[in-house]
Amino acid sequence: MDRTILHCDCNSFFASVETLLDPSLADGPTAVCGDPESRHGIILAKNEKAKAFGVQTAETIWQAKRKCPDLRLVAPHRSEYVKFSRKCNELYLQYTDLVDPFGIDESFLDVTGSMHLFGSGEHIADELRRRMREEVGLTISVGVSFNRAFAKLGSDYKKPDGTTVFSRGNFKQRVWSLPANTLLYVGKRASDRLNQLGVRTIGELAACDPAFIHSILGKNGDLLLRYARGEDDEPVRSFYAEREVKSVGNSMTFAHNLLGADECRMGITALCDNVGRRLRKRGMVCQTVQLGIRDPEFHNRSRQVTLERPTNSTRTLIDLSMQLLLGHWPMDKPVRLLSVTAANLLPENQSCEQLSLFDAAEDIQKRDRQHKLDQTVDALRQKFGDKSVVFAHSVKKKDKTDKK
């Protein structure tokens, strides 16, 4: 028996929530962004009227205003987004406990076991759309299918406030004609590579030889081929199931471009301080450290290092991140954004390492001192607040001409 999977996607979620907070925003094109006067001025979301002018997510404010001079800009209210996301999932949970959030504004639902109570998947989707409008004040688009990948495709198919059904009987006619880049997890690189090979539709991808696609895209190619052929069997997890933490990361867009090792170290120290503290709070260590860099022209570079000894030491994270930066980024080139991610996580009490016969005692003592220091800093912050202890490198140094 096929499963019945729904993918519910809130339409223009951030902008819709802002309109509920301020109904006057519904009168014209609106976009959610950071402070227009700062370097955080990037479009985070837009309403349908702004979309009509071609305003796009992630473009700069000045680009959006050039397309739509009357665009009304509002700052994000993140706590409200979390509150409304919770309301959406509370509604979904009235139909099934198999609710798997896929970001703040999207969720997968498996209603296979609920249809004898509430009707078909399409009927449940229509009822959810109606209730979401009437009870929460938002609109959602819902895809209904026998797997997650096609359900996600369906929610993108008819926006806003639509229901689309891709069934076992119609998916070859309706899905295979769609562009390959509309399929879940087909990013820009995979899409460009497929285009170079003449694979432009989902159906053309489905017809590819598995060994050939694997040779081009690796494991991701295997996954995409299964998705294109309708063979996705990933389950929808219970909303109450414990989520496995696969990585801990933090990023920061700076108010001015960072230039030189000293300024970059200041940013990296702040990021690693946050990541290290969260690792220790979870009782985790990482085996991989990843550094992301973005310049003012939005060119991105990412580098990573795999560790012989898993760590959650803030000092070690700082040192490794700086090594990655100095080894792969010219110090005379400005930096707009930095990100640090701790990946390949292990429980701290399950990590193991092989120690050298000659330096083991010295290494153990050094790491013990650092671990005790981290624990002391964590305890002080827990008692007196996050700003009670800061790293010297995370504080901007005064110029020699500055007055004390």
What's the rounded Cα separation, in Å, for the pair 12 and 31? 10
Cis status of the peptide bond prior to 160, with omega within 30 of 0: yes
The number of C-alpha atoms within 13 Å of 26 and in the hemisphere containing its C-beta is: 9
CA distances from 68 to 49, 62, 72, 163 (A): 10, 10, 9, 30
β-pairing, 163-166 with 99-101?
Answer: unpaired
- CA dihedral of 378, 379, 384, 390, whole degrees rounded to 10: -30
Residue 332 structure tokens: 């005379």
Contact between 194 and 188 under an 8 Å Cβ cutoff? The reply is no
Which residues, listed in sequence order, are joined to residue 342 by a DSSP beta bridge? Answer: 248, 289
DSSP type of residue 402: S
Catalytic residue among 48, 106, 231, 308: 106
For residue 160 the two structure tokens come to 């806003």
Q: What is the dihedral of CA 16, 11, 86, 386, to 10 degrees?
A: -70
C-beta atoms surrounding 178 within 10 Å: 16
Q: Is 106 among the catalytic positions?
A: yes
Q: What is the C-alpha separation between 5 and 111, in angstroms, rounded?
A: 6
**Alpha helical stretches, state H, 93-147:** 115-118, 121-131
The first and second tokens of residue 118, run together, are 């509430």
Pairing status of strand 163-166 against strand 140-145: parallel
- Own/partner pairs for 324-333, CB < 8 Å, 24+ apart? 324/289, 324/291, 325/261, 325/264, 325/268, 325/291, 325/293, 326/261, 327/303, 328/293, 328/301, 328/303, 329/264, 329/293, 329/301, 331/259, 331/260, 331/261, 331/264, 332/259, 332/260, 333/295
230 three-state secondary structure = coil
Active-site annotation, residues: 106
